[in-house]
Amino acid sequence: MRVYYWQLVAQVMRNSRELAGLTQAGISQRVGASRSAVQAMESSGARLTAERMCAWSGAVGRTHVSLIQEVEERKRRLEEDGWEVALDRSQEVGG
């Protein structure tokens, strides 16, 4: 089974927003991004920059380091359970 790293990042972003009690519209205002950009970040990791991750972490009351640590912890647990965590689709056979 395979999951992509960006999927883990997107999950952590969405979960951190929800735990902070923010809507997509609310976080978009706080990070200076459109709602469609927030939707893209939460679904595919698209449009996510280091600057936006730092703004996001502040908006949800966390540090960017804690968000990355959570992604890495999820990755570790998945790998322990036999999942492959690929960086991108170029790692696919024939990709």
C-alpha dist (Å) from residue 5 to 25, 30, 61:
25, 25, 23
Which one has a higher pLDDT value, 73 or 90? Answer: 73
In this model, does residue 95 exceed pLDDT 90? no
State the pTM of this model: 0.87
Contact 83, 89 (CB under 8 A): no
pLDDT of residue 89: 63
- Model confidence pLDDT, tens digit, residues 12-62: 999 999 999 999 999 999 999 999 999 999 998 787 889 999 999 999 999
pLDDT of residue 49: 87
